[in-house]
Structure 1
Amino acid sequence: MFRKMKNIDTAFRYVRLFTLVIVTGNLLLCGYIVYRTNVTLTANKGKVYVMVNGKLVEAVAMERNIPVELRDHIRTFHTLFFTLSPDEKAIQAQITKALYLADGSARREYQNLKEAGYYSNLISGNISQTIDIDSIELDMGVTPYKFRCIGRQYITRPTSVLTRSIVTQGYVRTGMIQSDNNSHGFLIERWEIVSNNDIKTESR
């Protein structure tokens, strides 16, 4: 009877030792996993990965340069809005892209031009139009940021090229959701054409 009790006591000690080893091993393994996870997260902090043509490319997240992005947003909007060819579908495609970058003020300007027959005249007269942006002035003192855009329009007719000066102004609101249609996440507000005057006409 005494030997039997001794065997049970020995077996219990072995089980207790085995359990202690297993628990200790699990704790050490969990601690190592947490440590390696923290090391990996710290090493990859600020890095993002993007797919480019089916390949995974590492990109480093940097602080945004708001003035540069604002100027690019404004330039893109004006280029889309004022670069037109004598094709109804092409005009509609350009204007649609431009209107994603601005509020209802740009749509009102488009509707006014459309009702005045501006786009119909481009199509019927086989006229194309491009714009060069000379400068974009920004007031970064307060949001939304006020801007003034100065450029030149080139209206190409079958027999001549008309050069016009154009000045527009408005405000840009930040903090919008970035998307394929609005990559910067900005929105032009209260946009208006201040002046649009002829400079010269050259024969082709």
Structure 2
Amino acid sequence: MFKQLKNIDSAFQHIKKFSIAFLIGNVLVVCFGIYKFCEVIYRERQTIHILYNGKVLEAFASDKKSNLGVELRDHIKTFHQYFFNLNPDDKAIRATVTKALYLADQSAKKEYDNLRESGYYNNLISANISQEIEVDSIKLDLNQLPYVFTCYATQKLVRSSSTVMRKLVTQGTVRELKEQTDNNPHGFLIQRWETLVNTDIAAKAEGR
């Protein structure tokens, strides 16, 4: 009888251990399933489907900070292109410079006003000069806020008789805005912008 009771107690202990192990196993499986489900949901949220030329393409969204340097350089480059790529037409100049002013603070507006008051834009129009800019490089410091940059570029002033090349160096800082807009898609604002160097490099007569 005692042996039978002992066997029953031993069997109960085995069943108890098996039940606990089974329960723990189920909990682990459920937790793993929840983890994988959340991982799939996150991956799906990072996936963007784009319709291009009648085809559905898959793209992946990325964190803004992972591309911070790229976005800052593009913002700075875009600003300089809007500000310095000019055609000899007052309406066109106003349109492109206005786009640039959305990307910077009052320091850019001040520079624009100074150029207008000095007759710079009128000279471009009267002499039928087109102005183009090529951004060569942008030095950027991401270790401090606001971000400090120096932009190195080459200006080209095209006249009917000659082309003048100019060296342009500007500097300023960039801070992040809370929102992105159609006029400022990167959500940055250039501050304390100033021109350090703007000197002629060479002049080339047309047709030579």
TM-score by length of 1: 0.75
SS at match of 2:190: strand
Identical-residue share of aligned pairs (%):
52
RMSD: 2.1
Structure 1 Cα separation of the partners of residues 181 and 172 of structure 2: 22
Alignment of 1:28-107 (within 5 A): 41-42=41-42, 44-49=44-49, 58-64=58-64, 65-107=67-109
**Could you tell me which residue of structure 2 aligns to residue 134 of structure 1?**
136
Q: What displacement does 1:58 show?
A: 4.7
**Could you tell me which residue of structure 2 aligns to residue 26 of structure 1?**
none
Does residue 170 (structure 1) correspond to residue 152 (structure 2)? The answer is: no
Distance 1:53 1:109, change over 3 A: farther
Do the aligned partners of 1:176 and 1:187 also contact (CA within 8 Å) in 2?
no
- Which consecutive unaligned segments of at least 5 residues does structure 1 have? 1-34
Structure 1 Cα separation of the partners of residues 156 and 168 of structure 2: 10
SS at match of 1:44: helix
- Which consecutive unaligned segments of at least 5 residues does structure 2 have? 1-33
Q: What displacement does 1:99 show?
A: 0.6
Alignment of 1:116-127 (within 5 A): 116-127=118-129
Q: What displacement does 1:134 show?
A: 1.1
TM-score by length of 2: 0.74
